[in-house]
Amino acid sequence: MSEITSIQSPARRQTQTSIGEPITRTDGVLKVTGTATYAADNHPANLLHAVMAVSTIAAGRVTHLDVDATKAHPGVVDVMTPDHRPELAKDPDERDDPFMFRLDLLQNDRVRYPGQPIAVVIAETLEAATEGAALLAPQYEAETPRIGLNAGEAFVPDGVGPGEPAEAGVGDIEAGLARATRRIDAVYETAPQYHNPMEPHAIVAAWNGDRLTLDTPSQAMAIARGRVAGLFGIDAENVHIRSPFLGGAFGCKGMILSPQALGIMAARMTGRPVKLVVRREQMFGPLGHRAPTRQTLALGLDDEAHLTGLSHHVRTASSVFDDFFEPAAGVSHTLYASPAIHTAHDAVRLNTGTPLFMRAPGEATGSLALESAIDEAAAACDMDPLAFRLANYAEVEPISGKHFSSKRLRDCYAQAAERFGWAKRSRAPRSMRDDNGLLVGWGVGTATFPVVMFQGHARAVIRADGSGLVETGAHDMGQGAWTALAQIGADSLGLELGHTTFRAGSSDLPDAGVAGGSGHTATAGNAIHNAGRDAIDKLAELAINDQASLLFGAERRDIVARGGRLVLSDSEARSDSYRDILGRAGLAEIEGRGTGSPDQTAQERFAMHAHGAVFAEVKVDPDLGQIRVTRLVGAFAAGRVINPRMVESQFFGGMIWGISFALHEQATIDRRSGRVMNADLAEYHIPVNADVPSIEAISVPEQDRHINALGVKGVGEIGITGTGGAIANAIWHATGVRPRRFPIGIDDILAGEDGGA
């Protein structure tokens, strides 16, 4: 169990509440001093090291492994292969729900994708295991792999994303497009992207009979416990997962994946604790990625520049053995008013690892195409891109007709545009240059992300000394959950941060739900809020019924909790301290329990989304085609802000990923072998400091009483959804070239009129 005692920031104002205050990270000192314990930092006694050997072909079978040579290597303890491995209680290819993926656990000699685990070498040292894996010298019977979106025959999947319909619509799309006086038809392609958090997947597994202790990064410990229990035929209560810190996740640590299960198998086979840490190049295989897309959009426009129809078709891909389909067209359901909308997905199967949830799955890829097409439509109507978006502003959700639970997108447009200086933008492309002769372009993109909540639980305790304790099995991927959830916990108990201890990061605490979908603060935070309220209710009952209390006989609704005291709201003189109430009752503590879960009735009535607007400035060398993003300004309305410092950090992170999406990030596939050719962080390009310009993020205040008790939406993913499109549109404004492939390269710019509209 991990514990952080929340300490008041010296810069913090003395207020009655810590919610809304920019508290610095309570776990910051642990991280910068290197004392935060990540999974691979654990070294139990008698530890063995495991290293995966992975396939270098994309399809076929393994015909030979030199196991004898490996076992003869000094320090090697055992080699796990399809012919020599522990039996599993459940077929790894069985899948029961959208958060369970088929695993590669050495079931047979078949190879389904490059980077697939084909053996595991277990040794006394990491060096011996690594050398032993190299000695396996696998031989293959290779088959021709399926590569690229033109491979094989496309099919319509049963569902996309976590079970959404592959096709949806409203109105008559053919009639809507037919009555248009202008029409935009365009195809946009996005490249595959691979999960590369700073901390790769790692596991330290130790068996004690049928009890299993795991140190592994997890975004969803309860789901992970259930998966492990099913695979190994033990009770979920016998699985203890410790995951106090995650070095990034973005979706790839939301479930147990093959390398982690292999580490558990190795520990069972040897009877000793085993550590398995995935090497960086092995991240480009069994650990998920964002699938490529080819998106075909058709927009119909009338003489007043209003949409008459919006068609969004997506071709994507999954693996040859499992199902996950990027739901990229879903973003077109909600942003722009049109009487006719039609979205559809189809897919091909490739010899690749199964795609997975990756930051803003669907919205990131889909918004890049949609925002580019909307910009093309604005140009076709000879309108300012922002004015065009406002002319097609959706007052209700177009696909469903529901009213929004709250929507301050107009304010986001206005505030970001003013801060950016959008009014000074000239209309024509290639009309702006800086003092060095570089082409300057300004673009805008709309940001959106749905409000997501899971079900989570929490425990809150008021102690006899007047201090508080809050417990929930929460996950901190680096987004600041330790801090924000501690703030909610302190406020729920009416205590200062310094008087509240926050415990999280362990599966033996109440299940906090999933740290994903930008829903963790809403889920775990509301559970904590309700647990604290439950504890205060019980404490108030003690005081109300205690003749020695100044609150005796008061109504519960008239009592508020603050500063470690219960106070009668209309009479400050009538109050009682937590310490005195519990002391007179002879109690060491009083406990509250709480649950955070979505309001199904509200979800049926309202469309729930966070919104934002991002404005981008780029500079392009007119001779070389080199692109630099020089300014980003974003404004976001995402409900109640728990900690402005953490929220700003999340907006920045999303916007930086938007830069990556537009200009840098792609997996380059060898079309002969199917292998990822840039499976490292030297050639798999992501933005570095020199690529990140001046960034400003504005939080637009927004109150939403329908989404949950705290009014929290989510901020982790919305920043990516508007930024990539804004950059692409700025590049068009700078160059007159309309980018339709992402990431955008120098060759796209130098192609001139042949490279775009």
pLDDT at 744: 97
Q: Let me know: does 416 contact 635? Beta carbons within 8 Å.
A: yes
Distance CA 329, CA 564 (A): 50
At residue 3, the pLDDT reads 58
Average pLDDT over residues 203-208: 98
Tell me the pLDDT band of 753, cut-offs 50, 70 and 90: very low
Per-residue pLDDT, averaged over 484-503, amounts to 96
Indicate if the pLDDT at residue 6 is higher than 80. Answer: no
Q: Retrieve residue 752's tokens.
A: 């001139």
Note the helical H segments in 473-519: 481-492
Average pLDDT, the chain: 95
Which pLDDT belongs to residue 16?
A: 62
Work out the average pLDDT over 190-207: 97
Q: How confident is the model at residue 5 (pLDDT cuts 50, 70, 90)?
A: very low
pLDDT of 578 above 50: yes
Nearest to 170 by CA among 394, 368, 346: 394
Give the confidence band of 100 by pLDDT, cuts at 50, 70, 90: confident
Residue 178 pLDDT exceeds 90: yes
Which residue in this structure is represented by tokens 């693996």?
Answer: 319
Q: How far apart are alpha carbons 217 and 687 in whole angstroms? A: 24
Q: How many CB atoms lie within 10 A of CB 156?
A: 12
How many whole angstroms separate alpha carbon 739 and alpha carbon 427? 18
Cα–Cα distance for residue pair 584/616, rounded to 1 Å: 62
Q: How does residue 10 score in pLDDT terms, banded at 50, 70 and 90?
A: very low
**Is pLDDT above 80 for 335?**
yes
Contact 113, 674 (CB under 8 A): yes
With pLDDT > 90 as the criterion, what percentage of the chain qualifies? 94
DSSP 531-591: HHHHHHHHHHHHHHT-TTSTTTT--GGGEEEETTEEEETTEEEEEEEHHHHHHHHT-SEEE
DSSP run (H or E) holding 385: helix 385-391
Q: String of b and e for 160-177 (b: at least 16 CB within 10 Å)?
A: bbbebbbebbbbebeebb
Q: Is 140 helix (H, G, I), strand (E, B) or coil?
A: strand
pLDDT at 9: 34
**pLDDT tens, residue by residue, 120-167:** 999 999 999 999 999 999 999 999 999 999 998 999 999 999 999 999
When mean pLDDT is compared across 11-25, 154-168, 261-275, 287-301, the lowest value belongs to 11-25
Q: Order the strands of the 741-742 sheet from edge to edge.
A: 167-170, 341-350, 307-319, 293-301, 182-190, 741-742
| Cα separation, 251 vs 89, whole angstroms | 27
SS3 of residue 193 by DSSP: strand
Secondary structure (DSSP) of 387-456: HHHHHTB-SB-TTT-PEES---HHHHHHHHHHHHTGGG--SSTT--B-TTS-EEEEEEEEEEEE-----E
Residue 8: pLDDT above 70? Answer: no
Cβ neighbours around 689 below 10 Å, total:
5
The two three-digit tokens of residue 12, written as one number: 């913090």
Q: pLDDT tens digits for 51-68? A: 999 999 999 999 999 999
Number of residues that this document lists for the chain:
757
Proportion of the chain above pLDDT 70, given as a percent = 97
pLDDT tens, position by position, 343-398: 999 999 999 999 999 999 999 999 999 999 999 999 999 999 999 999 999 999 99
Q: Which alpha helices (DSSP H) does 53-153 contain, by range?
A: 67-71, 126-135
Q: Are 531 and 492 in contact (CB under 8 A)?
A: yes
By the 10 Å C-beta count (0-12 exposed, 13-18 middle, 19+ buried), 577 is classed as middle
In angstroms, the CA 581 to CA 110 distance is: 67
Which structural domains are found in the chain, ordered by start? 2-36+455-597 (3.30.365.10), 40-144+201-277 (3.90.1170.50), 289-452+604-755 (3.30.365.10)
At 151 the pLDDT is: 93
CA dist 407 and 637 (Å) reads 8
Question: pLDDT tens, 646-675?
Answer: 999 999 999 999 999 999 999 999 999 999
Q: What pLDDT score was predicted for residue 670? A: 95
CA distance 756 to 586: 77
At 387, list the tokens: 């004015």
d(CA 618, CA 631): 7
Q: Are strands 571-577 and 565-568 parallel, antiparallel or unpaired?
A: antiparallel
Write out pLDDT tens, residues 67-99: 999 999 999 999 999 999 999 999 999 988 777
Confidence of residue 570 (pLDDT cuts 50, 70, 90): confident
* More confident of the two residues 183 and 152: 183
